[in-house]
Amino acid sequence: MHNTLTIFKRELKSFFDSPMAYVFLVVFALLNGWFFTTTFFLYGQSDLRTLFNIVPLVYLFFIPGITMGLISREKGLGTIEIISTLPIDDRDIVVGKYLSAVALIAIALLTTSLHFITLSSFGNSIDYGAVFTGYLGLLLVGSVYASVGMFSSAVTDNQVISFIVGIAIIFVFWLFDKVLIFMPDLLAGTIQYLSVEYHLSNISRGVIDTRNLIYFGSVIGFFLFLTTRLVESRRWS
């Protein structure tokens, strides 16, 4: 736990020591701000639904961008040899780095709180519960995508490849919901259960169901497990 925290702190600081975190946060805020405000005043509804719809799409590029270097850069620079020969488990390295990405995503979500302030200033009969669960849903989806990003970062020592692999896998998860109508009934249920959007929409409605939480938890666990295995695989190469 102590080691996970040390890695987490180093990674989070390293995001903010370079211009990367600032560029991402500003672009994230601008993109979401643009898409949200262009429709918000047209609908005249006191909710953040448009925001909650657009963020997962922005995630598609944003999250692989955050995670692409987390492991591939260490492999490329050779610093993986430094941390792997310190008395620390590969699992702690992976979890520490993962949590730093999740923290940056949480900070990015905070930049959208401006829209919430706008909403609460001008709107009436706001469903605060739905806003809370909506944000929780976005954080969970971000966490799932970050675990995918970790995996794609561990696949290669090239950050560009890692970025593209990350987008591709996240795109597949995002696509599950869209291709549902083309699926035979037999598969539809399974595909729907695998779809991130399906679970997000449940949570966004204000329902926190353990089935959805188990889904998010197991996908995250699965990808982090694979990532750890990939990091360990250097021993046997």
- Residues of the shown chain interacting with another protein in the complex, contacts defined by CB under 8 A: 2-3, 6-7, 10, 13-14, 17-18, 77-79, 81-89, 234-237
Cα–Cα nearest to 69, from 199, 186, 162, 188: 162
- Residue 165, Cβ neighbours under 10 Å: how many? 21
8 or 145, CB closer to another protein? 8
Q: How far is the CB of 13 from another protein (least distance, A)?
A: 8
State the Cα–Cα distance between residues 195 and 215, nearest whole angstrom.
Answer: 10
Q: How far is the CB of 73 from another protein (least distance, A)?
A: 10
The string of DSSP codes covering 126-185 is --HHHHHHHHHHHHHHHHHHHHHHHHHHHH-S-HHHHHHHHHHHHHHHHHHHHTGGGS-H
82 or 214, CB closer to another protein? 82
Q: Amino acid letter at 34? A: W
9 or 205, CB closer to another protein? 9
Q: How far is the CB of 237 from another protein (least distance, A)?
A: 7
Q: How far is the CB of 101 from another protein (least distance, A)?
A: 17
Cα–Cα nearest to 159, from 93, 225, 76: 76
Three-state SS for 23? Answer: helix
Q: How far is the CB of 69 from another protein (least distance, A)?
A: 11
Q: Are 158 and 76 contacting, i.e. CB atoms less than 8 angstroms apart?
A: yes
3 or 111, CB closer to another protein? 3
Q: How far is the CB of 87 from another protein (least distance, A)?
A: 4
Q: Are 31 and 111 contacting, i.e. CB atoms less than 8 angstroms apart?
A: no
182 or 236, CB closer to another protein? 236
81 or 209, CB closer to another protein? 81
